[in-house]
């Protein structure tokens, strides 16, 4: 159904608005939509009245061709009113099934009826206001909820930020700990590598020379080692006051124009000898007293405290190494003096030439149990002996000296070599039951000429004949001297011709761990047989050196070497 109203006055506009509101209510348009339609229509009618003229409001309700399921309103100027250029206003409102058949299109001019319509409009407004209040409450609820959510998000962001800072701090602490651990490992590695370097030598000058090589330039710009009781070659003319104080107190001293803050180190004023650079003076401590001072200047502005602790430990180890080297050198000098005192001056005889060589082992103290001896007897014969006491050091040298003295005492009675070795065996067994020795005794009778010899556990003598042939005198020897066994050592006799040479030696000359003793004896025989007929007769001393040279060139010796050449002149 289509309804139409002509509007030229305010009253016409009010009646048309009231009619449209009633028809919308009868068609089932919801209150909010009805109020929205009425408000929009009122505003448009007000504009039309302002413009003037006559306007036509057309409303199509459900059932009409233009209002199928909707309310369709059109506001246009009336035809022939001179308002053709005015644009129509249209609005469409969906509506459900109508509540009753539309019949309220006519609005009377009765004031009561208009008042009722006005109050009905207020009711719609009240409903809209209630809906608005509900929406405002809902908006307020959601606003509060959103505020709480924002607060939670802000709190979460704060927690995440705090967790990020804590994580960054943890990473930084881990990096610092890793760097500290790496620095500690570096220092420990340096000490572990430096200790063998310091202890590799038993020469204290060599240890002093290696200290700057270890420290410069990583831990020090310069290194000065002041050793007490040294000659002027090894100590400077003047020393910093801090070094003197370190020597007197035994405590490390740090001389600079600022506190060092180094653990276990006393701070001192800057040195007058070098006021522009700090000095760290560390005493070289030993078991008894300081033996010197190590003075260092830093590689940069100052030392790290942990580096200073490491340097103090290195100085302690260096002091012990230098002290050990000095003690070794002192004992070595004593041992070499004793060894030289025990070696025999060979006797001069008309027809028998003698040449001897003694070379101590290249490891440890240069003293051992090898010895040689030669002396004349009353009948004009010459007794030569070479022996080896087990072990090295002062104890072996003392026992060697006692055996040498006992042999000379026994030889006064004129006993044969076998008898002399038998008596030495008994003497050593009763004197030192846990010490053993080997020996060879050879007695020359230049007038006959004959050679009588006997051996006790010793490598066999090697005899060179005048024609250059070489023989090993390998007759069955006796057992070692001093073993818990009663034995009678037998004599052996050889006829000699002028130009013959007998070589007596110890096992250090011919024995090598990897090859045994037999190849060494063969090399000795080859070296002895390489001489010409007159070389041994002309220069026996030089011949001894020529024999030793090839035998000792193959490896480092770990045992004493003793050689005694006996040459019967032609």
CA pair distance 489, 37, nearest whole angstrom: 149
Task: List 533's β-bridge partners, or say none.
Answer: none
Residue 231 pLDDT > 80? no
CATH class belonging to 345-568: alpha beta
Q: Both tokens of residue 109? A: 């001019």
Q: Both tokens of residue 567? A: 């040459």
Residue 399: what pLDDT?
81
Of the pLDDT bands very low, low, confident and very high (cuts 50, 70, 90), residue 364 is: low
Q: Are 402 and 410 in contact (CB under 8 A)?
A: no
Assign 470 to helix, strand or coil.
strand
Q: In what helix (H) or strand (E) does residue 541 lie, and over which residues does it extend?
A: helix 540-551
CA angle 566, 386, 391 (to 5 degrees): 150
Residue 490: what pLDDT?
93
Assign 471 to helix, strand or coil.
strand
CA pair distance 321, 488, nearest whole angstrom: 51
In angstroms, the Cα distances linking 388 to 271, 383, 384, 407, 436 are 59, 17, 14, 14, 9
Q: Both tokens of residue 407? A: 């042999």
> Which CATH fold topology does 204-338 show?
Beta-Lactamase (3.30.450)
Of the pLDDT bands very low, low, confident and very high (cuts 50, 70, 90), residue 67 is: low
Assign 202 to helix, strand or coil.
coil
> Which CATH fold topology does 2-107 show?
Heat Shock Protein 90 (3.30.565)
Q: Where does CATH 3.30.565 sit in the chain?
A: 2-107
Most confident stretch, 24-33, 54-63, 290-299, 441-450: 290-299
CA pair distance 508, 557, nearest whole angstrom: 7
Residue 124 pLDDT > 90? no
To the nearest whole percent, how much of the chain has pLDDT over 70?
87
CA pair distance 41, 57, nearest whole angstrom: 10
Threshold 0.75, pTM exceeds: no
Helix intervals (H) in 200-353: 204-215, 241-249, 305-342
Task: List 493's β-bridge partners, or say none.
Answer: 452
Per-residue pLDDT tens for 449-472? Answer: 889 999 999 999 999 999 889 999
Task: List 452's β-bridge partners, or say none.
Answer: 443, 493
Residue 313 pLDDT > 80? yes
Q: Are 23 and 102 in contact (CB under 8 A)?
A: yes
Q: How many helices (DSSP H) and strands (DSSP E) are in the chain? A: 12, 19
Q: Are 228 and 319 in contact (CB under 8 A)?
A: no
Assign 19 to helix, strand or coil.
helix
With a CB cutoff of 8 Å and minimum separation 6, the contacts of 283 are: 246, 247, 249, 250, 251, 252, 290, 292, 293, 294, 315, 319
Section 306-330 average pLDDT: 90
Task: List 59's β-bridge partners, or say none.
Answer: 3, 73
Residue 183 pLDDT > 80? yes
Kindly state the greatest CA–CA separation across the chain: 186
Q: Where does CATH 3.60.40.10 sit in the chain?
A: 345-568
174 CB-side CA count, 13 A = 6
Task: List 373's β-bridge partners, or say none.
Answer: 385
Residue 203: what pLDDT?
86
Q: First vs last Cα of the chain: how many Å apart?
A: 170
CA pair distance 384, 446, nearest whole angstrom: 13
Q: Are 223 and 211 in contact (CB under 8 A)?
A: yes
Per-residue pLDDT tens for 475-519? Answer: 888 899 989 889 999 999 999 888 899 999 998 888 887 778 888
Of the pLDDT bands very low, low, confident and very high (cuts 50, 70, 90), residue 34 is: confident
158/553: higher pLDDT = 158
Residue 20: what pLDDT?
87
- Considering the chain, what is the average pLDDT of its residues? 84
Closest CA to 565 of 290, 346, 336, 295: 346
519/433: higher pLDDT = 519
Closest CA to 301 of 269, 257, 271: 257
210/366: higher pLDDT = 210
Q: Both tokens of residue 353? A: 């030439």
CA pair distance 213, 262, nearest whole angstrom: 24
Instruction: Annotate 78-133 with DSSP letters as a single string.
Output: PTTSS-TTSPPEEEEEE--S-SS----------HHHHHHHHHHHHHHHHHHHHHHH
CA pair distance 562, 414, nearest whole angstrom: 26
Q: Where does CATH 3.30.450.40 sit in the chain?
A: 204-338
Q: In what helix (H) or strand (E) does residue 421 lie, and over which residues does it extend?
A: helix 417-431
Section 276-299 average pLDDT: 88
């Amino acid at each position: 159904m289509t309804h139409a109203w002509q509007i030229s006055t305010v009253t016409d506009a009010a009646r048309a608005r009231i009619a449209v509101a009633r028809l919308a209510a009868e068609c089932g348009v919801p209150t909010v939509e009805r109020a929205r339609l009425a408000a929009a229509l009122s505003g448009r009618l007000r504009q039309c009245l302002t413009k003037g003229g006559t306007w036509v409001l057309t409303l199509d309700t459900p059932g009409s061709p233009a209002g199928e399921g909707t309310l369709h309103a059109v506001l246009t100027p009336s035809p022939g009113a001179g308002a053709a250029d005015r644009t129509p206003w249209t609005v469409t409102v969906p509506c459900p099934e109508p509540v009753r058949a539309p019949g309220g299109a006519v609005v009377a001019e009765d004031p009561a009826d208009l008042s009722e319509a006005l109050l009905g409009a207020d009711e719609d407004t009240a409903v809209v206001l209630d809906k608005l209040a509900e929406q405002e409450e809902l908006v307020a609820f959601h606003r509060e909820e959103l505020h709480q959510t924002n607060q939670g998000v802000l709190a979460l962001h704060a927690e995440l930020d705090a967790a990020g800072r804590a994580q960054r701090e943890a990473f930084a602490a881990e990096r610092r700990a890793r760097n500290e651990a790496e620095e500690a490992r570096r220092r420990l590695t340096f000490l572990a590598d430096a200790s063998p370097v310091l202890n590799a030598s038993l020469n204290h000058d060599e240890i002093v020379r290696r200290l700057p090589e270890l420290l410069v330039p990583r831990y020090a710009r310069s290194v000065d080692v002041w050793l007490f009781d040294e000659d002027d070659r090894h100590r400077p003319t003047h020393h910093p006051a801090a070094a003197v104080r370190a020597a007197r107190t035994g405590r490390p001293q740090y001389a600079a124009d600022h506190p060092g803050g180094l653990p276990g180190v006393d701070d001192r004023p800057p040195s007058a000898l070098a006021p522009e650079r700090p000095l760290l003076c560390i005493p070289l401590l030993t078991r008894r007293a300081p033996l010197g001072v190590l003075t260092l200047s830093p590689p940069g502005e100052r030392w790290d405290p942990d580096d200073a602790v490491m340097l103090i430990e290195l100085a302690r180890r260096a002091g012990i190494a230098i002290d050990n080297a000095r003690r070794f050198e002192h004992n070595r000098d004593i041992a070499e003096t004793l060894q030289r005192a025990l070696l025999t001056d060979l006797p001069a005889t008309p027809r028998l030439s003698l040449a001897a060589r003694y070379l101590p082992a290249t490891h440890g103290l240069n003293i051992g149990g090898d010895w040689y001896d030669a002396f004349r007897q009353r009948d004009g014969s010459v007794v030569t002996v070479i022996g080896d006491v087990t072990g090295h050091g002062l104890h072996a040298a003392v026992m060697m000296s006692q055996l040498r003295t006992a042999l000379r005492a026994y030889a006064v009675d004129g006993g044969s070599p076998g008898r002399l070795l038998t008596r030495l065996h008994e003497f050593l067994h009763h004197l030192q039951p846990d010490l053993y020795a080997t020996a060879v005794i050879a007695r020359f009778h230049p007038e006959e000429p004959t050679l009588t010899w006997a051996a006790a556990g010793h490598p066999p003598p090697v005899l060179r004949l005048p024609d250059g042939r070489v023989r090993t005198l390998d007759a069955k020897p006796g057992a070692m001297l001093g073993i818990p066994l009663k034995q009678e050592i037998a004599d052996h006799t050889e006829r000699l011709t002028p130009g013959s040479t007998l070589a007596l030696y110890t096992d250090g000359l011919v024995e090598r761990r990897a090859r045994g003793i037999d190849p060494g004896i063969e090399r000795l025989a080859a070296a002895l047989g390489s001489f010409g007929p007159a070389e041994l007769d002309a220069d026996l001393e030089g011949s001894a050196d020529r024999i030793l040279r090839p035998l000792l060139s193959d490896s480092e010796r770990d045992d004493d070497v003793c050689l005694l050449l006996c040459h019967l002149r032609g």
